Amino acid sequence: MFPPTSMAVPLLIGSVAIGASAAILAWRARPNPGATPLVWLLIGQSWWSTCIVFSLSAGTAAEAVFWTKAGWIGVMTVPVAWILFSLEYTGRDGYLTRRNVALLAVLPALTVVLAVTEEYHGLLYIREAGVTARGSVLVDQGGIWYTVAAGYTYLLGVLGIVPILGLLSSGATAFRGQSAALILGVTTPWATNVLYNMGAFPNVGIDPTPIAFAISGVAYLGAIDRFRMFGANPAPAWRAKQFLFDHIHEGFIVVDGHDTIVEMNRAAAETLGVDVDRALGSPGSDVLPLSEPFRTDGERELLTVGTGSASRSYDVGVSELTDRRGETLGYVFTLHDVTRYLQQQQRLKVLNRVLRHNIRTETNIIQGYAERTSGETAETITQRTARIVEISEKGRDAIDLFEDTVNDRAGTSLAGLLERSLADARDAFPAVEFEFQRPDEDAVVSEGLSVVVDNLVENAALHNDGEDQRVTVAADVDDDRVRIRIVDNGPGIDDYELDVLNSGTETPLRHASGLGLWLVKWGTEVIDGSVTFEDNDPTGTVVTATVPLRRRGGLPHHNA
């Protein structure tokens, strides 16, 4: 219930004072995002209120009509300033080109012109409607263009609220407070104006919207002062997301549930040789030529673009986008350049062949010559030859480790992997007693873990030279991790070896005695795991390898 006309002037003056105070604070906050448009919004509100004060104080109908017409400058400034503020404040100022701002201002400018010239056309009539008991002249407004102008202001008001609504769910208290204050500040006068145009205030005599500006002014003051609107601004967050999406090296293509491209970044456009603007709205299957329909179970596909030496290879992954109810909204395709990886993989295959065939062939020849001789020299040659074979086998294990880890799609059973490793160890070390403590539940792990376990078990058995040689392998599954413990009662691992391992590198004067422990370290690292070494009581070593579970599809498992 709004006050009668007799009380309107003091309230309007108060509204102007509050709006002016907020405008001064916003002006001082320049050039923070949103500060300048907010100044114009508050000026527009204050100008509108001021013109109504002059209209109510006018001594003649002509003066009242004049100030009512002049008030349309403020009326049409407010919605344009609001949408500009909303976009700039939330970091979407990329839409604020000169062309777009000019288009936004066309209808407001035309409305002001029609208000000034209304006596020539009547599209926006402004005329005397009566006189109050205190002698104030009341002005009536209407016409078809009045409806158009009102609808336009409501439209810009709603469009401006949409970006700010997203801040209500922000993790930052300041952003939530700012957005709540801003929404209160804009909806209060807008709702008042809607109700007034619907005839909800028949006895007021004037448009009460400017009176409601007092509430919006207080809300804007609260946003600026209480919630530090220009000290903690959300604009960089939106721009950062856009920047990362546009400039990240990996290509991203977003399609909706009907395979229509709705977004694409520069990297994807350059990779596929398409224009972003033309690609938007096109079928995703036309732009991204996959050999089979995409799937979301973790399987990936290799896409080759170009021919010959200029060709590039990309690993194509797809992630499903869902709403809060779990319904599918669309999919995001990622294009990861794996050209260098494939080249390195090819080199590893060559190295693997050398280690697998060439070295073994040469060592067999050396072994043959050694067998034709006798004595200490022949024995030394035989031992060194066996050492060369062992090193080459470890080198092949390193190559297999990286290949198995990258190419591992579905993973493997944890229990099965441990049983295979222990079976091989029992054959190789019959004098050692092996004990296996099975996990309470089986799990899927990376195939690359087999190299880690094989080397840990081998190391525990090989260097255990006591009379009662024992090695225990135990595993347990906890949440989304697997812990594997290999315990032996041997002499333990030399501190020097562990120091080199922990340093992460070797030097000519500081190096480990072999590749076994390096394979353990590398193997756990490439599958996002870790390994620790502890002394066993009274003798021996306890090695704990902690690695993530895998889900079907070869991706790490994470709890929902």
Q: What is the pLDDT of residue 526?
A: 78
**CATH code of the domain containing 333:** 3.30.450.20
Evaluate whether 84 touches 96 at the Cβ level (below 8 Å).
Answer: yes
Least confident of 73-77, 260-264, 480-484, 512-516: 512-516
Evaluate whether 543 touches 486 at the Cβ level (below 8 Å).
Answer: yes
Q: Give residue-wise pLDDT tens across range 67-104.
A: 888 989 998 999 999 999 888 888 887 788 899 999 99
Count of positions (residues) in the chain? 560
Give the separation between CA 80 and CA 246, rounded to whole angstroms: 29
In terms of domains, do 230 and 377 share one?
no
Residue 241 lies in a domain: no
The domain boundary, picked from 312, 337, 362, lies at: 337
The domain boundary, picked from 405, 426, 455, lies at: 405
Residue 122 lies in a domain: yes
Cβ neighbours for 125, distance < 8 A, ≥ 6 positions apart: 118, 140, 141, 142, 143, 146
The model's pTM is: 0.54
In terms of domains, do 442 and 350 share one?
no
Domains in the chain: how many in total?
Answer: 4
Residue 54 lies in a domain: yes
| CA 539 distance to own-chain centroid | 49
Give the separation between CA 432 and CA 466, rounded to whole angstroms: 10
In terms of domains, do 490 and 372 share one?
no
In terms of domains, do 193 and 271 share one?
no
In terms of domains, do 285 and 358 share one?
no
Cβ neighbours for 22, distance < 8 A, ≥ 6 positions apart: 38, 42, 217, 220, 221, 224
Give the separation between CA 332 and CA 245, rounded to whole angstroms: 12
In terms of domains, do 308 and 359 share one?
no
pLDDT of 187 > 70? The answer is: yes
Q: What is the DSSP letter of 120?
A: G
pLDDT of 325 > 50? The answer is: yes
Give the separation between CA 5 and CA 231, rounded to whole angstroms: 40
Average pLDDT in the chain: 77
In terms of domains, do 373 and 397 share one?
yes
In terms of domains, do 297 and 351 share one?
no
Nearest to 390 by CA among 416, 411, 363, 365: 363
Residue 88 lies in a domain: yes
Cβ neighbours for 365, distance < 8 A, ≥ 6 positions apart: none
Give the pLDDT band of residue 43 (cuts 50, 70, 90). Answer: very high
pLDDT of 145 > 60? The answer is: yes
Residue 243 lies in a domain: no
Q: Give residue-wise pLDDT tens across range 268-286.
A: 888 888 888 888 888 888 8
Locate the DSSP E strands across 160-311.
251-256, 261-264, 301-305
In terms of domains, do 130 and 30 share one?
yes
Q: Give residue-wise pLDDT tens across range 430-440.
A: 999 999 998 88
Residue 279 lies in a domain: yes
Residue 506 lies in a domain: yes
In terms of domains, do 133 and 14 share one?
yes
Residue 546 lies in a domain: yes
In terms of domains, do 122 and 258 share one?
no
Range of the domain at 363: 341-405
Half-sphere exposure of 21 (CA within 13 A, CB side): 17
Q: What is the DSSP string of 290-344?
A: -SS---SSS--EEEEESSGGG-EEEEEEEEEEE-TTS-EEEEEEEEEE-HHHHHH
In terms of domains, do 157 and 193 share one?
yes
Q: Give residue-wise pLDDT tens across range 44-73.
A: 989 988 988 888 787 788 888 888 889 899
Q: Give residue-wise pLDDT tens across range 387-404.
A: 666 666 666 665 565 555
Q: What is the pLDDT of residue 112?
A: 93
